[in-house]
Amino acid sequence: MTTLRQLAQRLKPSPVMKQQADLTHEEDETLVARAQGGDASAFDVLVERYKQRVYATVYHMTGNHEDANDLVQDAFIKAYRNLHSFKGQSSFYTWIYRIAVNRTINFLKRRKDRGHLSLNDMDANVETDPDYVELMSHITPRREVGLNELQEKLNEAIQKLSEEHRAVVIMHDVQGMTHADIAKVMHCSEGTVRSRLFYARQQLQGLLSDYL
């Protein structure tokens, strides 16, 4: 029979968990240095820190859960295996993004068909978002559509963009990254980022002209 003391002992955080919890407040540079020195738990903290953001970008580029999950896992594995080559000239955040976005672009170029879209639902906070309120109050589409259908049409339109244009519009308009950061991730100039952004938006406006 398990005593209360045994139960408490079991629930007590292990030294590894405790160490990881201590590292969560550390800067990226410190964590990278520790991971380069062989501290795997420091890299775990980096994975935990960036997994959702990297996933979101890759997911919006592929439009598919499973592919996004595989690509993000691969990106973190590649980053871990090549950690010795990371010299800290850019931030870890830019570096992991670059790996993930490049892998996704290569994947999308290899993938012949567009694959099936497995879209995530909107979370409950969407209805309180000022953008949602404004969009719903002013929208005068030629066809009456709800937000979910509108999102579906938008996702289909995004999938029609080229891989590079898609990456730029998602990183800027969805993820809110700056032109400078996108330029670092995509290995191109800020002018190229602006140009791709303009072209991508123009294409999306054309594809969604019946709904905007």
Partner 1 sequence: MDCKKAQRLYHELADGQVAEPMATALRRHLDECSDCRVFQQRAARLQQLLTLKRHEQPPPAYFENFLGEFHRRLALETMRPVWWERLFSMITLDLPSTWRYGLAGACSLLLVLGFVWKASDHLHGGASQPPVAAVTANPSVATVAHVSTVSVDPKQAVAPSAWRTETSGPQYVLERIAVTPASYETASVRF
**Binding residues for partner 1 (CB under 8 A):** 44, 47-48, 51-52, 55-56, 59-60, 65, 73-74, 76-77, 80-81, 119-123, 125-126, 129, 131-132, 134-135, 138-139, 147, 150-151, 154, 169, 173-176, 179, 194, 197-198, 201, 204-205, 208-209, 212
Least distance CB 9 / partner 1 (angstroms):
23
Q: Cα–Cα distance between 106 and 110 in angstroms, integer?
A: 6
The tokens of 97 are what?
């993004």
Least distance CB 76 / partner 1 (angstroms):
6
Least distance CB 207 / partner 1 (angstroms):
10
Q: Identify which of residues 6 and 149 has a Cβ nearer to partner 1 in the complex.
A: 149
For the chain, the C-alpha Rg in angstroms (whole number) is 21
Q: Identify which of residues 60 and 165 has a Cβ nearer to partner 1 in the complex.
A: 60
Q: Cα–Cα distance between 146 and 132 in angstroms, integer?
A: 12
Task: Indicate the SS3 state at residue 149.
Answer: helix
Q: Identify which of residues 3 and 37 has a Cβ nearer to partner 1 in the complex.
A: 37
Least distance CB 55 / partner 1 (angstroms):
8
Which amino acid appears at position 201 of this protein? R
Which 3-state string (H, E, C) describes 80-121? Answer: HHCHHHCCCCCCHHHHHHHHHHHHHHHHHHHCCCCCCCCCCC
Task: Indicate the SS3 state at residue 78.
Answer: helix
Least distance CB 107 / partner 1 (angstroms):
16
Q: Identify which of residues 110 and 138 has a Cβ nearer to partner 1 in the complex.
A: 138
Q: Identify which of residues 6 and 198 has a Cβ nearer to partner 1 in the complex.
A: 198
Which amino acid appears at position 111 of this protein? R
Give yes or no for a contact between 190 and 175, defined as CB atoms under 8 angstroms apart.
Answer: no
Q: How far is CA 212 from CA 36, 150, 159, 169, in A?
A: 49, 9, 18, 18
Q: Identify which of residues 3 and 125 has a Cβ nearer to partner 1 in the complex.
A: 125
Least distance CB 84 / partner 1 (angstroms):
15
